Structure 1
Amino acid sequence: MDADLDLRKLRYFLAVAEHLHFGRAATELRIAQPVLSRQIRALERELGTQLLHRNQRHTALTAAGEQLRADGTVLLARANALRRRVLDTARGGARTFRLGFMPGLTVTAEVRALREANPGLEVEVVRTGWDDQTEMIRDGRVDASYVRLPLDPRDLALEPLFDEPRVVVVPADHRLAGKQRVSIHDLADEHLLQDPEAVPEWRDVAAEMRAGERLPERSVRTVEEKLEYVAAGRGVVVLPLSTALFYSRPDVRHSVIADIGPNRVCVAWAADSHSDLVRQLTAIAHRLHPEPPTDDR
């Protein structure tokens, strides 16, 4: 028999799927562990399938559990976004517009243009990062955002704006410091201070040239943290040129990576959004976005 998916039970399941530990998930959810266990079992009965392999020492997702985690994360985010839009409407319409932006990008002109075109509108800006730029759109924390590819485009609408070169940032005393252009092959032996999936060209070259060697897994969260590690000689980072220029400092240098593709900047929003403000933003963005930055050294 078909059953509706209970979003509360889904939220409980996603907490367990994240921690793979009922005790830690129960603490995060602020419920008793036996209650959480009963809710997960009830969800499994409703869906008619096992979601978790569990015993006293180990919890793991089944194949069905992996699928529910992937799709359920997006579903719950969309439900939260829907709730925010309904509440905005109940309060008299969306008089607050939340605009996200990635490091190295500025949205001042867009904010001013939106406010001038919509008297009384409050525009809030929210800094995002590689790990949450899409999540913030899906769960409604921002109404639209300036994003950088690559990203997971599920349930998102994307409007491309411009491309810009990618650069490697190295310590000021590094062997590559001062070079205007380098090759991705020059970086194969370097320690990358970010998720290799964000720089698949480096991942592929490094995997080929370092066959059998485990690639570094260090992933530092913010640009500021990454540059601190770079300056200390702990590794290198690949950034869009505008980000490297925005966070310029004397103890690091950057060089354009000549043989990999550029970074693409887009405006993104929820695909099911019908906001007129989003349509206004995309028109304004095309009118105001700057020319791709160049390296004039």
Structure 2
Amino acid sequence: MTDQPDPPAAPLRIGFVPGVTLTKWRRIWSERFGRRPLEVVEVDAAAQREVLDSGQFDMCFVRLPIERDDLHLIPLYDELPVLWLSKEHLLSALDEITADDLAEEDVRTDPNPMNIDLTAAQHTVLHVPMSIARTHSRRDLTYRPIVDANPPTIGLAWRTDNNHPMIDEFIGIVRGRTANSSRTAQERQPEKPSKKSGKRATDRDRQQRRRPRHRR
């Protein structure tokens, strides 16, 4: 009877909303856990909670706010809010934008294809994170920082009942934990044999036995 090979490890499935870049974290994962599959898929921001509740993903990089019931959430960083607009729009002449500048504008926040086309035609403007404007950059569009807007925050979320064994390792990578300080490295570190202390005691006994006795 031949031994059956171990079943393949379950992949860690990571979702991310548009504008999040995972290149560095994926590279570090590959270097440390090359044999552990990591599945990374972009998800629509409107579905960021749904993909966690349905079990489609183990973790997701989300854009706050998000309903936090039954979720673990680690806020990671703030994004720069910008006004995404046509290069021909009058506001493009400004270096920065304030809320007062937008009083008479049709401001939208969903960067779907239709809204982007309307923005290019100067029918509307888009209030989005700078990462979105950069990711979907077009020659006929530009962006300006909105200096008095609250910055959106990117966080890493996962369900409290998800016990995937590699979640803690991925959190460590995102937080900048080194390979030597990772929990996996600590768990794999071999224990020191108990005989070592016994050997030291034996050596001391031998040294004591070898000590010359003082003559009276």
TM over 0.5: yes
Gapped regions of structure 1 (runs ≥ 5) = 1-90, 195-219, 289-297
Structure 1 position 254, deviation (Å) = 0.8
Question: What do the CA deviations read for 1:86-108 (whole angstroms, capped 9, x no partner)?
Answer: xxxxx947521211111121112
Q: 1:280 aligns with which of 166, 169, 175?
A: 169
Matched with 2:115 is 226
Matched with 2:128 is 239
Asked whether the 8 Å contact 2:98–2:148 carries over to 1, the reply is yes
Question: What do the CA deviations read for 1:184-225 (whole angstroms, capped 9, x no partner)?
Answer: 22213222334xxxxxxxxxxxxxxxxxxxxxxxxx563x44
Deviates more, 1:147-156 or 1:114-123: 114-123
When you count helix as a share of all residues, which structure comes out higher? 1
Task: Tell me, yes or no, if structure 1 residue 121 matches structure 2 residue 36.
Answer: yes
Identity %: 30
Task: Tell me, yes or no, if structure 1 residue 102 matches structure 2 residue 17.
Answer: yes
Matched with 1:43 is none
Structure 2 counterpart of 1:103, one-letter code:
P
Q: How many residues align?
A: 172
Matched with 1:155 is 70
Structure 1 position 231, deviation (Å) = 0.6
Task: Tell me, yes or no, if structure 1 residue 251 matches structure 2 residue 140.
Answer: yes
Matched with 2:102 is 187
Q: 2: CA distance between counterparts of 1:158 and 1:231? A: 36
Q: 1: CA distance between counterparts of 2:9 and 2:83? A: 41
Structure 1 position 133, deviation (Å) = 1.1
Q: Hey, which bits of structure 1, 4+ residues long, moved more than 3 A?
A: 91-94
Task: Tell me, yes or no, if structure 1 residue 134 matches structure 2 residue 49.
Answer: yes
Higher relative contact order (CA 8 A, sep 6+): 2
Q: What is the TM-score of this pair, normalised by structure 1?
A: 0.53
CA-atom RMSD, angstroms? 2.1
Q: 2: CA distance between counterparts of 1:240 and 1:221? A: 10
What SS class does the counterpart of residue 233 from structure 1 fall into? coil
Matched with 1:267 is 156
Matched with 1:170 is 85
Asked whether the 8 Å contact 1:98–1:142 carries over to 2, the reply is yes
Q: What is the TM-score of this pair, normalised by structure 2?
A: 0.72
